[in-house]
Structure 1
Amino acid sequence: MKALTLIPLVLAIASASALAKNKTFYADVQVTDVAPTSGFIWERANQNTPKYPIELARSGIMGCAVLSFDISDSGKTENVEVINSLPKKHLGKYSRKMLKKWKWVPASTIAETTTEKRTLRLDFCMGGESTEQAQKACKQQTKLACS
């Protein structure tokens, strides 16, 4: 008899976790140039908003990361270093992984393509009832210190 009463409880727990996995997350990632702030040699080939890592969204992890890196003379991201991140354990790791995949194209057809040192800040934000609300919250977050 006791075994029969456990079955509905197990099903209820399984259903609750399935619903949590199907929850809609409204999220945004803001990219802010820290240095240099103008006169770029390179620009991101894909100017779309980077995708919020699903693992971070499911865990409800938000915050920021500041990264320093080089763009090679062929447009490849190299020497990625996490300067700071909040929370430290997760966002630095995911930001570094994300940045390493980015491709870069010359910002101008006139300028000579050489190696460029860059520093970027990535803000990861979630919340609200729409993507627009998440974007607005993220733009406000970029004004806060990432330390």
Structure 2
Amino acid sequence: MKKLMALIAFVLMSVSISSLAKKIYADVQVTDINPTSNFTWQRENKNTPKYPIELARTGVRGCAILSFDISQSGKTENVEIINSLPKKSIGKYSRRMLKKWQWVPVSTEGKSTVEKRTLRLDFCMGGESTELSQKYCIQQTKLACS
């Protein structure tokens, strides 16, 4: 009987704690460091990248600047972290995220070539809505990532 009562108390505490949990709004902004209209490749999935759950759980925000190549087959290769804040976590997750991206040619004319790119990824959290989180993140992209 004591075990049953302890289990019921635990379940009730868990339910009341989870109901108090605040919803977290997060956004990831992708910015080309050297924007141009002459890119050979574009991201296949143009949706906003998903905020890594591990970073969201720990409340980590920041930015990373990465340099990489897009191969002739549209794969991300040779990813190099140029800078990231905070150093370890944002850089690691940015690199992992970028390596999964697939690229498609901008034009169907001509031969696809290897392209060198540099991107900035901003990871932002906060606000009371997705729109507010996106607004914060756009403001963050104007700050130095060093």
Report the TM-score, using the length of structure 1 for normalisation: 0.86
Residues in 1 aligned to 2:89 and 2:16: alpha-carbon distance in whole angstroms = 23
Cα 1:59–1:83 change in 2 (3 A) is same
| CA RMSD, Structure 1 to Structure 2 (Å) | 2.6
Counterpart mapping for 1:52-131 below 5 A: 52-131=51-130
SS state at 2:39 partner: coil
The aligned amino acid for 2:133 is A
Residue by residue, what CA displacement relative to the aligned partner does 1:17-70 show, whole Å, maximum 9, x if unpaired?
962995421010000001353310000000000000001001000010000000
| Per-residue deviation, 1:132 | 0.3
- Corresponding residue for 2:144? 145
**Contiguous gaps of at least 5 residues in structure 2:** 1-5
| Per-residue deviation, 1:89 | 1.2
Contact 1:42/1:116 (8 A) holds in 2: yes
**Contiguous gaps of at least 5 residues in structure 1:** 1-6
Cα 1:113–1:28 change in 2 (3 A) is same
> Percent identity among equivalent residues?
71
- Corresponding residue for 2:3? none
Contact 1:41/1:111 (8 A) holds in 2: no
Report the TM-score, using the length of structure 2 for normalisation: 0.86
- Corresponding residue for 1:4? none
Residue 134 of structure 1 pairs with residue 129 of structure 2: no
